[in-house]
A and B are shown apart, each in its own frame.
Chain A
């Protein structure tokens, strides 16, 4: 069943920005009606990150998480596949699971004892005899499944929209960049145990846009964090000639090419040694360019709400909780092949830099909260925000897929994120979503394609 959008006619969301001129209207961070539309038009349709394979290794292993504001259970099945379904009983709607994670054969509702197996099918209920023949066909009353579920190199995604294009298409050429994180060593990646969640009184998009392209804030906002982690040294200088923004379908990665900046910011010499040791292998595996992208001062987001810092190893989702609040879920992503000692060192490094108590993270929340809450003022709310940095620096790059802008200090990825946002908000269906970047890579194994094929 398609998700029915109950609201009336929608405005043309393109009027909330001018990507050519470089501004965005603040109402998209403040307006309740726009927020409601985001839940329908973006979160009920896009592929959303659910879990890493390593969080649910064994049959029955589950985590609970959010897709937009919808709570879902993600479970490993006997045949090793993964299912995801709403965490809401089909009888009166109560949650059927109250844990963040665990292992379960069944999810039983506390209200009337409706019992669902870990594939989400209704198997029985308390005092089942009171249902007469014809009262219920249990097969029809399982927990609502996501429309599509798939994974890309360890990351499990799902969508509520059966008409959504494949995950492969949704990620498109961004997979070329993702491989630098997910496939830089044999064995791939895993998440460290645990999840840390926190609440920020900010619009969810401020987190995403910060990670998608805002290298510029780092040296200023995080001056204190950088000096603290690195014996008083400020942020490494940015090489504007040799650093880039890359955007594909609203996903974006901003990066230098020096190979070490983010690893340096983690403040863990042993981790730096590790990557220096595997870098020649990485270059063979991914090619010279990506072996330099990985570890550089960089940050990235997958549309609509996943972000990570390659080299610093924080991985997170920004979950919408109304226009004025987000819930941040953070994880630590490491390579499976790493020795325990390196994994522990990275985990400690992430928690001292980008955990809620981290020397870097600390200063972000307060900025985004104030960027958001000032818009309670109806006059403030109608003012534009400037997104014009680097607007004329678009280039063609022979080795890098996507829309490329030169110079890491740039608003390009942010502009293209908001363009994708407007495209999704305006589209009646996926056929209406304009293809802003034609895919140039074929197949899934982007690692094996040394240079891209020209379209």
Chain B
């Protein structure tokens, strides 16, 4: 099966410090909302057609050409549109999400931010790395590290997340669940 590229946009390094700074502030605000469990405010930073993708990556030899990064028909941790992300958040608001009560402690650290302009003046490509620390109950802890590639689109003057692909740098998820967003 031929698989089309997840990102069709070509990027060129951004030169405007203002733009870079604006993007950085958006990324930091996002993860502040995630750390504070302000999930609706987080999804309000997305475009209505957002796609949120975190493929499950098998360990394969270099010569293996299976396209694990772009194929949306394969298994994935997240392969969500806005409605599907919303359902996950609905769960947290039911009052019966037992594994979130007592609350989990999250800390998202975002770094290695790069901004690229595209042919579309309203869209930028954004690269970043994350370190997400999760601590729960007495001594439950997980550290999830990976990279992201995003497409942000200016709508009504504000940059919104339109597409995100997250690559977790683990083969076996060393954690009992994935109650965390990136």
Contacts and interface: CB of A to CB of B under 8 A. Distances in A.
B131 to A, nearest CB: 18
Contacts of A367: 98-99
Size band of the A side of the interface? 35 or more
Given A102-B61, A344-B72, A357 B91 contact: no
A101 B178 CA distance: 24
A266 B40 CA distance: 23
Contacts of A355: 75-77, 178
Given A194-B68, A327-B172, A362-B99, A347 B75 contact: yes
A221 B99 CA distance: 9
Given A101-B58, A224-B97, A362-B179, A356 B77 contact: yes
A142 interface: no
B77 A102 contact: no
Nearest to A352: B84
A193 B57 CA distance: 11
A193 B175 contact: no
B76 A351 contact: yes
B173 A224 contact: no
A359 to B, nearest CB: 5
A151 interface: no
Given A99-B60, A228-B90, A199 B73 contact: no
Contact of A228 (B60, B73, B94): B94
Contacts, number: 148
Nearest to B80: A352
Given A196-B173, A362-B99, A357 B179 contact: yes
A98 B84 contact: no
Size band of the B side of the interface? 35 or more
Contacts of A343: 73
Given A359-B87, A361-B177, A224 B58 contact: no
A193 B76 CA distance: 10
A310 interface: no
A192 interface: yes
Interface of B: 55-56, 58-61, 64, 66, 68, 71-80, 84, 87-88, 90-92, 94-99, 171-179
Given A355-B77, A367-B98, 5 more contacts: A198-B178, A332-B75, A351-B78, A356-B175, A366-B176
Interface of A: 98-104, 192-202, 221, 223-225, 227-229, 232, 267, 327, 330-332, 340, 343-344, 347-348, 350-352, 355-357, 359, 361-363, 365-367, 369
